[in-house]
């Protein structure tokens, strides 16, 4: 069970990425039926910790709080700053006992220095993926994802992708409803599709950022229907080819893949919060048949709908 969270404050850490960890795990959301964690901010040497932007924060706890943590979170930090050996020890011990270890952005370099990325896939901000691969050649760096889960180690890509990575762990441990509750309070999507490569190129100038807002909202309200690219293109007053190309450019995935992901998220919610039959859930979410829904669960979540309901159905949070 995900309960005790320890965020390790590093000299030269980035305030936003540190704040992401605090925002996701440090706020008591029980007033809205959301999760509440035993959250700690620690440091190898408590006291003033200078951030990357030049201001200090005061940390009162030392690393002893990490000994029984369910998750150790490492924020981004300024490259070149030496990492205290006790921090590396804490990370290695957490990984060895099966606790979650999460890094945000350049925090992956700390995990690499601790040796726990060896033999694992990993990621970091697209600007630093080549550096991470050179510094730690035993890890397979994926530059085109928002986060990577390999065993109990999760590495997040740049900045806001830390939210995706943190919510992924919440979803894995507590279910989709808990992750959705946190995302709703943060006013962010509970789960984004596509990889970070969509952010590398400049935005498409003839495709404004909200050009697909209406059609995706309509798609979400009609998940139970068969929705073809031709039908969606007509509704959005585009040719099918142009619609598919622009949809992928803006959302980082194909219309079909996006639909399947939304259907999966809806199915997870129904399996957690209702006692509907698998066929009813499959019909309501647009999968059509329970066997088709099962295929998508196995492909994406590596579990079956029945096993998912058994694990998360009793944990109705939000």
pLDDT in tens, 216-266: 889 989 999 999 999 999 998 999 999 999 988 888 889 999 999 899 989
Please give the model's pTM, rounded to 2 decimal places: 0.69
Residue 27: pLDDT above 60? yes
Q: Is 95 helix (H, G, I), strand (E, B) or coil?
A: helix
pLDDT in tens, 59-79: 999 999 999 999 999 999 987
Cβ(95)–Cβ(122) under 8 Å? no
Delineate the domains of the chain, giving CATH numbers in brackets.
Answer: 4-186 (3.40.50.880), 202-318 (1.10.10.60)
Residues noted as catalytic: 105
Measured distance CA(87)–CA(49) in Å, rounded: 14
CA torsion, points 71, 304, 157, 263, in degrees to nearest 10? -130
> Alpha helix locations (H) across the chain?
15-25, 85-96, 108-114, 129-135, 161-174, 176-186, 213-220, 229-235, 240-251, 255-273, 278-285, 290-301, 305-312
Q: Which two tokens stand for residue 115?
A: 């040796």
Mean pLDDT calculated for residue range 81-95? 96
pLDDT at 249: 85
Q: Which candidate, 257, 274, 181, 167, places its Cα nearest to that of 219?
A: 257
What's 82's DSSP letter?
P
């Amino acid at each position: 069970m995900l309960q005790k969270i320890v965020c390790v404050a590093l000299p030269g850490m980035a305030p936003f990425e540190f704040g992401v960890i605090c925002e996701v795990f440090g706020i008591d959301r029980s007033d809205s039926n959301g999760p509440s964690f035993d959250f700690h901010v620690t440091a190898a040497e408590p006291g003033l910790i200078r951030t990357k932007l030049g201001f200090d924060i005061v940390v009162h706890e030392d690393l002893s709080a990490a000994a029984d943590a369910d998750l150790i979170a490492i924020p981004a930090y300024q490259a070149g700053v030496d990492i205290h050996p006790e921090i590396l020890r804490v990370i290695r011990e957490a990984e060895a006992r099966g606790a979650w270890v999460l890094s945000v952005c350049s925090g992956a370099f700390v995990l690499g220095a601790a040796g726990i990325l060896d033999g694992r896939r990993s990621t970091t901000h697209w600007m630093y993926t080549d550096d991470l691969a050179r510094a730690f050649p035993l890890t397979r760096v994926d530059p085109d994802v928002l986060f990577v889960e390999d065993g109990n180690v999760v590495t997040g890509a740049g900045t806001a992708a830390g939210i995706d990575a943190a919510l992924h762990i919440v979803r894995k441990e507590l279910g989709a409803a808990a992750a959705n509750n946190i995302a709703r309070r943060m006013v962010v999507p509970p789960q984004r599709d596509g990889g970070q490569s969509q952010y590398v190129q400049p935005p498409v100038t003839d495709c404004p950022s909200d050009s697909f807002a209406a059609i995706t909202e309509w798609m979400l309200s009609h998940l139970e229907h068969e929705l073809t690219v031709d039908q969606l293109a007509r509704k959005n007053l585009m040719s099918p080819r142009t619609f598919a190309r622009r949809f992928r450019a803006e959302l980082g995935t194909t219309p079909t893949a996006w639909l399947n992901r939304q259907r999966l998220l809806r199915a997870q919610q129904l399996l957690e919060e209702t006692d509907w039959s698998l066929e009813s859930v499959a019909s309501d979410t647009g999968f059509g048949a329970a066997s088709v829904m099962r295929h998508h669960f196995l492909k994406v979540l590596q579990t079956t709908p029945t096993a998912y309901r058994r694990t998360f159905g009793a944990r109705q949070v939000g």
